[in-house]
Amino acid sequence: MQDNSTPLSVMVQADGLVKIYKTRDTEVLALQGLDLTVETGELTALIGNSGSGKSTFLNMIGGLDRPSAGSLRVDGRNLFTMTERELVRYKRDTVGFVWQNNGRNMLPYLTALENIMLPMNLSGTRHKRARALELLETVGLSNKKHSKMNMLSGGEQQRIAIAIALANKPKLLLADEPTGSVDSATADYIFDIFTELNKNGQTILIVTHDMTLSKKVRRVVAIRDGKISSERVLKEEFADRVRESGIDWRAEDTQDEYVVLDKANRLQLPRELLDELKLTGNKVRVSYRDGRIEISGPDTAEESKT
């Protein structure tokens, strides 16, 4: 059921999201009050070190994991209150998932065409073959429709995976490291597919370690220690140049970076700034001067008191 408290322009609304994994001896806090809004029609990248919580968050949005606390709504529906049957329908019809491990994307004994048709068989979609052929053309692999997984390169498998994820026309496409195991030329091609889909209105959320790819995305959200720490926004002069081969995306400063305040007005300072402060404790001085907030390390006298 649609939740009328969520605006139609919002695809993902996470508020104070917490996830705790428990073992017999320990508890691991994977998400620590994460807040994030993704607008309908956005192409957003999530970045962060291993263990930062980004894949946990993606799995929750995909309906594959349940939060421990907080609120998570996708397309206006509260994932907290869904029954198991509603969750199955949600995973089938609302979200499409592209995994980094192609073994999770395709069944090896089916052809590419059959793999793309499979989700439509489960949803009762009509004109399945025509839709599958259209998707093969979208990812540039019409000539591979009869190929099975072992006949396709890693990049081709990933492109077929995108077609499979789009089969039931999901409102939200999720991709976990979609370029993580392919060469740079194939990664560029895959990103071009995402860009074209997004131009046609597809909402896309990508988890990536690929810094070249992330520097081409209009909005990049960085997760650190289970919270949103900063956002990067593509500079206007680069916004319409993502396909230009003459730009060195790894070297160019293509984005403006902003530290994000959470709902308690807390922020995480970028690690490189903390390193420059050479802190030996956990205290900093904060002052407001000439329209700017200044953060500095404690003086020697203060440090000696701690």
Domain ranges of the chain: 39-63+82-272, 273-306
Count Cβ atoms within 10 A of the Cβ of residue 203 and give its class: 0-12 exposed, 13-18 middle, 19 or more buried: buried
* Confidence class for position 282, pLDDT limits 50, 70, 90: confident
DSSP category for residue 175: E
Residue 41 has pLDDT above 60, yes or no: yes
Tell me the two tokens of residue 154: 């890693």
Residue 272 has pLDDT above 80, yes or no: no
Instruction: Give the separation between CA 270 and CA 259, rounded to whole angstroms.
Output: 8
DSSP category for residue 65: S
Q: State which CATH number among 3.90.260.10, 2.40.110.10, 3.40.50.150, 3.40.50.300 fits the domain covering 39-63+82-272.
A: 3.40.50.300
Residue 111 has pLDDT above 70, yes or no: yes
Predicted confidence at residue 284, as pLDDT, reads 83
Comparing 59-73, 261-275, 280-294, which segment has the lowest mean pLDDT?
A: 261-275
Sequence-distant (≥ 6) Cβ neighbours of residue 26 within 8 angstroms: none
Comparing 143-147, 168-172, 181-185, which segment has the lowest mean pLDDT?
A: 181-185
Residue 230 has pLDDT above 80, yes or no: yes
Residue 299 has pLDDT above 80, yes or no: no
pLDDT in tens, 59-90: 999 998 888 889 999 999 999 889 999 999 99
Residue 179 has pLDDT above 90, yes or no: no
Predicted confidence at residue 173, as pLDDT, reads 97
